[in-house]
Amino acid sequence: MTGKGHSTTTAVALICACAAAVLTAPGTAFASPAEPTPPSNRSLEKVRKEIERLYREAGTATDAYNAAEEKAEKQSEEIVRLARSIDKGQTKLDRLKARAGAAARAQYRGGGVPDEARLLLSENPSRFLDGAGRLRQGQHATKAMLTEMSRTQADLKTYAKDASAQWKKLEANRKAKAEAKKQVKKKIATAEKLESRLEKKERERLRKLEEEAALRQQSAWVDTGILKDANGKATSPGKKAIAFATAQMGKPYVWGAEGPKSYDCSGLTSQAWAAAGKTIPRTSQEQWKRLPRVDVQNMRPGDLIIYHQDASHVGLYVGDGAIVHAPRPGRNVTLAGAGSMEILGVVRPDK
């Protein structure tokens, strides 16, 4: 591989190597304070946990928002399709009605004389028989036309009924989307307000506490030996997904975002796999529900790790015990320990 692709691969390898040194080191030591933690630090730890809870709830609401948005988009597309079908069916019905009207007028001009009378009155019986044959063909055609008209009218009724149902679903999902949006903003605003009350030094300490908590959880996870068997190799599409995701590092988390300037967690993973040529569900919850699952010890780079019992967060596994993910509002796309959060399970987009 040459050019940009080579530099991207090299950069990813370097990132993973650095991450491996920190993230997979068993028994990572943590400095313990020489003196008992002062009350202010205990209070700060409570703030950290509360902020973490709020952002997790915001993540759940974000997933609900994304799901409602995705459904609304599909329903809008279905309504447009049905509207086109209705328009097409109405044009067809109008054309059939015009033909039926022409046939009725022709019959009226013919006087509606019975075939037997026409035979008796005809000077040329053979010409009459030819005409009678054509008449029977016309009658069969008229019958088929009327059947087609009836079927077209029934189709139009079905289309209209389906369109009405889709409108109701669309409206319901719009309301669900609006409520989820309200919840996202509320949770984020509360978390930001909590953080804004802290002085600069306290905010710096808060961030350090976050990093320490994540590292403790990662170290405990690695110490279980879970990574001993997780030595699978990335597939070609998996490498492309990793290259895309790592190239987004440093871009901010924005809820509901799918790039290119910002992402939420599932926006990043879905776009990474889209770049690899694979369409996957938009939300972390749907990714968990619909993608094939694999055991954690059998995961390979490119797999998606789903977090928390409500499947409200997702990261892309890059190997060596690390993920790339969009963490939360106020943070950027970054590398993190794959075990630094509660793992629900692993799914494989290209199984």
pLDDT, one tens digit per residue, over 152-201 is 777 777 777 777 777 777 777 777 777 777 777 788 788 878 777 778 78
Q: Six-digit token pair at 199?
A: 């002085």
Instruction: Single out the catalytic residue among 6, 16, 140, 265.
Output: 265
Instruction: Single out the catalytic residue among 16, 140, 308, 313.
Output: 313
313 is catalytic: yes
Nearest to 265 by CA among 285, 279, 247, 240: 285
Write out pLDDT tens, residues 263-302. Answer: 999 999 999 999 999 999 998 999 999 999 999 989 999 9
6 is catalytic: no
Distance CA 24, CA 27 (A): 9
> pTM of the prediction?
0.58
265 is catalytic: yes
Domains within the chain, CATH numbers bracketed: 38-197 (1.10.287.620), 201-351 (3.90.1720.10)
Instruction: Single out the catalytic residue among 6, 16, 308, 325.
Output: 325
Q: Contacts by 252-257 with C-beta closer than 8 Å and gap 24+?
A: 252/331, 252/332, 252/333, 253/326, 253/327, 253/328, 253/329, 253/330, 253/331, 253/332, 253/333, 254/329, 255/58, 255/62, 255/65, 255/184, 255/188, 255/329, 256/62, 256/65, 256/66, 256/69, 256/184
DSSP 25-73: -TT---PPPSSPPPHHHHHHHHHHHHHHHHHHHHHHHHHHHHHHHHHHH
pLDDT below 50 — which residues of the chain?
Answer: 1-39, 113-121, 128
pLDDT at position 4, please?
43
SS3 232: coil
